[in-house]
């Protein structure tokens, strides 16, 4: 059974760096086709894909965050990380991490297990 849980600061000030951790079990980020994606959702609004990191170390980021976003992983400890620099109030949202699988035989991607989400508020 795949489970994921996000952890983060809860509240942080504008211009600071947001650091989130996704701790997971039930899969390894060293296994072919496995990945972790980050998605955020402002309160009452829709979903925005931020980034994905894959078993082979490849990362894909949403260009809308320009160079503010970094994803990384610690395969040994079953964790993935998201850093967003220079946050402002527009970064206030619930941040989810999701187990993402690449099915090589048909080229599909699925985010088939999600964490409960971590609420992040940017406020002075």
Q: Per rule CB under 8 A, is residue 115 in the interface with another protein?
A: yes
What whole-number distance in Å separates Cα of residue 68 and Cα of residue 76?
26
Binding region for another protein (CB under 8 A) out of 13-21, 72-80, 83-91, 112-120: 112-120
Binding region for another protein (CB under 8 A) out of 7-15, 24-32, 76-84, 114-122: 114-122
* Burial category of 95 from C-beta neighbours within 10 Å (exposed 0-12, middle 13-18, buried 19 and up): buried
Q: Per rule CB under 8 A, is residue 27 in the interface with another protein?
A: no
Structure tokens at 36: 């972790």
- Closer to another protein at the Cβ: 8 or 117? 117
54-83 positions binding another protein, by CB under 8 A: 60-64
Which member of 30, 109, 119, 121 binds another protein (CB under 8 A)? 109
DSSP 27-82: S-TTSTTEEEEEEEE-TTS--EEEEEEETTS-EEE-GGGTTSEEEEEEGGGTEEEE
| Residues engaged in binding another protein (CB under 8 A) | 39, 46-49, 52, 60-64, 96, 106-112, 114-117
């Amino acid at each position: 059974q795949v489970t994921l849980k996000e952890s983060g600061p809860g509240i942080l000030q504008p211009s600071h760096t947001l650091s989130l951790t996704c701790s997971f079990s039930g899969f390894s980020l060293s296994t072919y086709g496995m990945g972790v994606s980050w998605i955020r959702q402002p309160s009452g609004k829709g979903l925005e894909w931020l980034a994905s990191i894959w078993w082979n170390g490849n990362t894909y980021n949403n260009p809308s965050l320009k160079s503010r976003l970094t994803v990384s992983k610690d395969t040994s400890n079953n964790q993935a990380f998201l850093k967003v620099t220079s946050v402002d109030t527009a970064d206030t949202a619930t941040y989810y991490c999701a187990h993402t699988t690449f099915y090589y035989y048909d080229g599909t991607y699925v985010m088939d297990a999600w964490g409960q989400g971590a609420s992040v508020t940017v406020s002075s």
